[in-house]
Structure 1
Amino acid sequence: MSKIEMTKKHLITCSVILVLVIISSVNIFSTNPVFPVKRIAYAPSNLLFSKPAEEAEEAYSFANEALPVNDKKVDFKLKKSIAKNRYRNIQSNVLHSKADKMFPVIEPILKAYGIPEDFKFIPLVETGLHEGTSPKGARGVWQFMPGTARTYGLKVGKGKDERLNLRKSTIAACKYIKELYGEFNSWTLAAAAYNNGSIKLERAMNRQNEDNYFRMSLNRETGSYVYKIIAMKEIINNPEKYGYKNFYSYMQKPLPFLVYN
């Protein structure tokens, strides 16, 4: 093969390669780039249809002990207690007024004795809309009987009744409640025993072989007592939700039936 023929063959080969390169370049730049697909994490279907936070089931508790509101009986009794204390039934702001006067005195004493703050609602449950001495002789916001009051350091008699002294009677109540907790190892049972007495409650527990207040069958007053406390807590903490609008602010006029120091 001559030199001229070899040169021609070489040129043809180079031309073919150049054409292929040009075609490849055109194909590359005419194609849309493909990027990695970002995965989107979808929520499970049951979450997509779940209730908003504000509509979620409310959690009720007493002294950090949760209520089994999934129990229909418990749920019914609690809602019944709350309904009784709505503004449309009470038609008065007296509960909030009393709370605003008493709580600043009661709260630090409860804290000092290691008693859960939820016990501050007991005086509102015990005295409610009325004051005075009960038919059985209990008196003051903590509704102490004379003998129990004396046991826990209050002077009753000879023209003196420290059950009406808010600070002193609260200290006595704390001593009593702490003793009840030591006996039952449950703040809920301690509250029930505060209402019914430790001996009667212990007998009921032994008879029923049960130590859960919400599963026990108790007399009407004691069986609804803790529900009343939780309902009072809910009403006082969320007044507008239950129809109370013109509620009082802390420390207006002192309550006339109490001695504060």
Structure 2
Amino acid sequence: MVKKRVLCSSALLMMMFMSNLYSNPQPESADPFRKALDHSMKANVAEVMAAKKEADPYGHISFAETEIPLEKVTVQKKLDKYLSRFAYLKKPSHQIHRKADKLLPRIAKILKSYGVPEDFKYIAVVESSLNPKTTSHRGAGGYWQFMPATARLYGLKVNGSVDERLDLVKSTHAAAKYLKSLHDEFGDWTLAAAAYNVGGGSLRGSLKRQKKDSYYDLKLNSETAAYVYKIISMKTVLETI
């Protein structure tokens, strides 16, 4: 217990120092030092996460009021894969954390007003890294990566002069309506998350053909098969580190 507290305190102090460093731009000559600190911070975070897992493996992981079947080896392996990948975030984690601290409470408040579980706020992080200017090769855009037709269906203006997918509040209201409609259809929040990625029609077909009723038992395309695990992993990383 003492070792765990020391590790957590070390990681928190390092993150506070890093936050101050990045909020006050340093000259170019400080770059090597900054990289060294970043490496040290990641090492401390890895130790903290390892200590948590050793003390209570997977005990802190949950998703959208729905039980995760952690007794299944395949589920644990996928969670390990994405937790490990997202722990280092491949992108500047301090930027994502700053955006998350600022925007996620606003998103959560809107989702709650529609009865959508707070965990769905992490879809916006997975989809766009909270960067509204992110655009997919298929034309999805904004915080929630709406396709133009779907955005219009849920009340957003998308035309040559206006794109409300870029508006955090308006697009989150649209996303909440869409997620609620998916839950009404499938009766399960995990399936609603999968349908958000692959589309309701496609998921209905998979459920019918495979005669399954759980996301964790379905064989889906690689992107959708990983989608819920990415959301859970992003949630775990942002709430733990």
Q: Same fold (TM over 0.5)?
A: yes
CA distance in 1: counterparts of 2:238 and 2:140, whole angstroms? 25
The equivalent residue for 1:218 is 220
The alpha-carbon deviation at position 53 of structure 1 amounts to 11
Task: Name the SS of the counterpart of 1:135 in structure 2.
Answer: coil
Is the contact made by 2:97 and 2:238 (CA closer than 8 Å) also made in structure 1? yes
The equivalent residue for 2:78 is 77
- What is the RMSD of the two structures over their aligned residues, measured on CA atoms? 1.9
Matched, 1:151 2:153: yes
Is the contact made by 2:100 and 2:130 (CA closer than 8 Å) also made in structure 1? no
Number of aligned residues: 188
Question: Alpha carbons of 1:108 and 1:76: their partners in 2 closer, same or farther (altered >3 Å)?
Answer: same
Question: Structure 2: where are the runs of 5+ without partners?
Answer: 1-51
Query: Which has the higher relative contact order, 1 or 2, with Cα contacts under 8 A spaced 6 or more apart?
Result: 1
State the Cα deviation string for residues 37-92 of structure 1 (Å, max 9, x = none).
xxxxxxxxxxxxxxx99713333221121211121100000110111111374453
The equivalent residue for 1:160 is 162
Is the contact made by 2:124 and 2:130 (CA closer than 8 Å) also made in structure 1? no
State the Cα deviation string for residues 6-39 of structure 1 (Å, max 9, x = none).
xxxxxxxxxxxxxxxxxxxxxxxxxxxxxxxxxx
Structure with higher helix content? 2
TM-score computed with the length of structure 1 as normaliser: 0.68
Question: Alpha carbons of 1:220 and 1:116: their partners in 2 closer, same or farther (altered >3 Å)?
Answer: same
How is 1:1-261 mapped onto 2 (pairs within 5 angstroms)? 55-59=55-59, 60-87=61-88, 89-128=90-129, 131-239=133-241
Question: Alpha carbons of 1:180 and 1:154: their partners in 2 closer, same or farther (altered >3 Å)?
Answer: same
State the Cα deviation string for residues 122-165 of structure 1 (Å, max 9, x = none).
00000138642110000001000000000000000030000000
Is the contact made by 1:94 and 1:129 (CA closer than 8 Å) also made in structure 2? no
CA distance in 2: counterparts of 1:132 and 1:88, whole angstroms? 17
Question: Structure 1: where are the runs of 5+ without partners?
Answer: 1-51, 240-261
Runs of 4+ in 1 over 6 A off after TM superposition: none
The equivalent residue for 2:25 is none
State the Cα deviation string for residues 216-254 of structure 1 (Å, max 9, x = none).
100000001000000000010011xxxxxxxxxxxxxxx
**Which amino acid in structure 2 is aligned with residue 165 of structure 1?**
D
Task: Name the SS of the counterpart of 2:93 in structure 1.
Answer: coil
The equivalent residue for 1:26 is none
CA distance in 1: counterparts of 2:54 and 2:151, whole angstroms? 44
Is the contact made by 2:130 and 2:143 (CA closer than 8 Å) also made in structure 1? no
TM-score computed with the length of structure 2 as normaliser: 0.74
State the Cα deviation string for residues 173-226 of structure 1 (Å, max 9, x = none).
011000000000000000000000000000001010001000110000000100
The equivalent residue for 1:45 is none
Is the contact made by 1:189 and 1:213 (CA closer than 8 Å) also made in structure 2? yes
Task: Name the SS of the counterpart of 2:137 in structure 1.
Answer: coil
CA distance in 2: counterparts of 1:149 and 1:111, whole angstroms? 20
